[in-house]
Amino acid sequence: MIRSIDTLLVPIPTIREHKLACTVMREQVLVLVHIQTEDGFAGWGEATTIGGLSYAEESPHSIKTNIDTYFTPLLLKEQPSSTAKAMQLLSLHITGNRFAKCAIETALLDIEGQRLGIPVSELLGGRVRDAIEVAWTLASGDTATDIAEAKEMVAQKRHRIFKLKIGSNPILDDVAHVLAIKKAVPECRISVDVNQAWTELEAMQGISLLEAGGVDLIEQPISMRNRAGLKRLKDRFDVAIMADEIVQDPQNAFHLASEHCADVFAVKINQAGGLKAACLIGQMAHLAGIELYGGTMLEGPIGTAASVHVFATYPSLNFDTEMFGPLLLTEDILVRPLDYNNFGLTVPTGAGLGIEVDTDKVYYYAKRSNITLPTMSQPNAKSGKFATES
């Protein structure tokens, strides 16, 4: 039985400004869910989004409010006997709230994996890869800074795939910025993320120039509402066109796949509504002949670990991932950081998510966010993590 569910807002500064077409980030507010059971297990989930309400319809504060007000009372009252029944219960009574549902499902799967002694990836069908390659986003906004950063990443064997955030400047300025970086690191794969900033006509101009300059991937160049336009761009250009914001829950992804609106799907566990939903989207894309890319909402290490458990199960992942969120933060909330090495990230092998959260640090940062929290009590006997008064 579920003993308690705590939802924590944990703000952590970023190592530098992270500029997108829709916002500029200087800190990331992690939304963490901590579920404890009567038999002594503790699971963690994450529902992090980008830039408050500038990117998605759920914000850190709305996620916490909805989980505390609607999700928690329902789960504590009904006490579903499995993760699947819990998610069915939430779907029956709560509309939308994909990010919040993802966090709850992640924490429950973490507990389920711990109880069975197996990694979450095995609960999702089984991993076919033990490590994933990770792209790095160059988002300082300055060409010389981005080139220096890219070269340093390659030299350190941290990243050799780079994504550039564009769309907030005139098209020719953005293209010049991207192509200068491509020229400086010609051996590296370069993609751009427009974050829906262009009109369809602007996209035709921008993509034509980027394709001629050797850019490898164009992510969500136009509005997510213009599905037909995205397909027209995919059919017009040889460079791969990737759908991102437009890829949401499995039903939405099914229509995109059936109409083959993009060459590549960026799959994000929060945007999909959970780990199992993200697996389903990956399966549909694979069956439709659409390539896959492991996307991020710039989650911290909990959401990142959950994501790589999903991506490790994909039959193909030819466009790799961008699971660099923890590397963008100035603080780590795990006892042992995730294992980034040789241009990639090792998929955790321990039971559940395979990570150990530094509970003291999480609650310390959460208290600094001025959110009222439960009172801390003694460490849980089985998990070694702190329990809370419910």
Beta carbons of 159 and 133 less than 8 angstroms apart = no
Q: Which two tokens stand for residue 159?
A: 């990243």
Mean pLDDT over residues 24-43, rounded? 93
Q: What is the pLDDT of residues 152-198, one digit of tens each?
A: 999 999 999 999 999 989 999 999 999 999 999 999 999 999 999 99
Q: Does pLDDT of 17 surpass 80? A: no
**Claim to verify: residue 328 and residue 384 sit in the same structural domain:** no
We report the CATH number of the domain holding residue 54 as 3.30.390.10
Choose from 58-62, 316-320, 372-376 the range with maximum mean pLDDT. Answer: 316-320
Q: What pLDDT score does 15 carry?
A: 86
Average pLDDT value over all residues in the chain: 92
| Closest alpha carbon to 275 in 230, 309, 237 | 309
**Claim to verify: residue 111 and residue 154 sit in the same structural domain:** no
Tell me the percentage of the chain whose pLDDT exceeds 90.
85
* C-alpha neighbours within 13 Å on the C-beta side of residue 139: 29
Q: Does pLDDT of 240 surpass 90? A: yes
Mean pLDDT over residues 45-53, rounded? 85
Q: Give CA–CA dist 366/39, Å, rounded.
A: 26
Query: Is 165 noted as a catalytic residue in this protein?
Result: yes
Q: What pLDDT score does 274 carry?
A: 98
**Claim to verify: residue 231 and residue 358 sit in the same structural domain:** no
**Claim to verify: residue 218 and residue 84 sit in the same structural domain:** no
| Closest alpha carbon to 357 in 6, 120, 87, 43 | 43
Query: How deeply is 232 buried, as exposed, middle or buried, from its count of CB atoms within 10 A (0-12, 13-18, 19+)?
Result: middle
Q: What pLDDT score does 57 carry?
A: 83
**Claim to verify: residue 169 and residue 269 sit in the same structural domain:** yes
Mean pLDDT over residues 19-25, rounded? 67
Catalytic member of 165, 182, 276, 385: 165
Q: Which two tokens stand for residue 362?
A: 């999480």
Domain of 99, in residue numbers: 2-117+354-388
Q: Does pLDDT of 384 surpass 70? A: no
Structure confidence at residue 20 as a pLDDT band (50, 70, 90): low
Beta bridge mates, 163: 137, 191
Distances in whole angstroms, Cα of residue 191 to Cα of each of 66, 175, 224, 304: 36, 12, 19, 21
**Claim to verify: residue 205 and residue 134 sit in the same structural domain:** yes
Q: Does pLDDT of 284 surpass 70? A: yes
Weakest-pLDDT range from 80-89, 134-143, 209-218, 235-244: 134-143
Q: What pLDDT score does 21 carry?
A: 60
Q: How many domains does the chain have?
A: 2
Q: What pLDDT score does 319 carry?
A: 97
Q: What pLDDT score does 370 carry?
A: 62
Q: What is the pLDDT of residues 306-337, one digit of tens each?
A: 999 999 999 999 999 999 999 999 999 999 99
Q: Does pLDDT of 18 surpass 80? A: no
**Claim to verify: residue 270 and residue 363 sit in the same structural domain:** no
**Claim to verify: residue 177 and residue 53 sit in the same structural domain:** no
Q: Give CA–CA dist 276/284, Å, rounded.
A: 12
**Claim to verify: residue 153 and residue 281 sit in the same structural domain:** yes
**Claim to verify: residue 93 and residue 227 sit in the same structural domain:** no
Q: What pLDDT score does 22 carry?
A: 62
Q: Does pLDDT of 199 surpass 90? A: yes
**Claim to verify: residue 133 and residue 213 sit in the same structural domain:** yes
Structure confidence at residue 373 as a pLDDT band (50, 70, 90): very low
**Claim to verify: residue 128 and residue 243 sit in the same structural domain:** yes
We report the CATH number of the domain holding residue 292 as 3.20.20.120
Structure confidence at residue 358 as a pLDDT band (50, 70, 90): very high
Q: What is the pLDDT of residues 79-134, one digit of tens each?
A: 999 999 999 999 999 999 999 999 999 999 999 999 999 999 999 999 999 999 99
Q: What pLDDT score does 375 carry?
A: 40
Reduced to 3 states, what is the DSSP secondary structure of residue 263?
coil
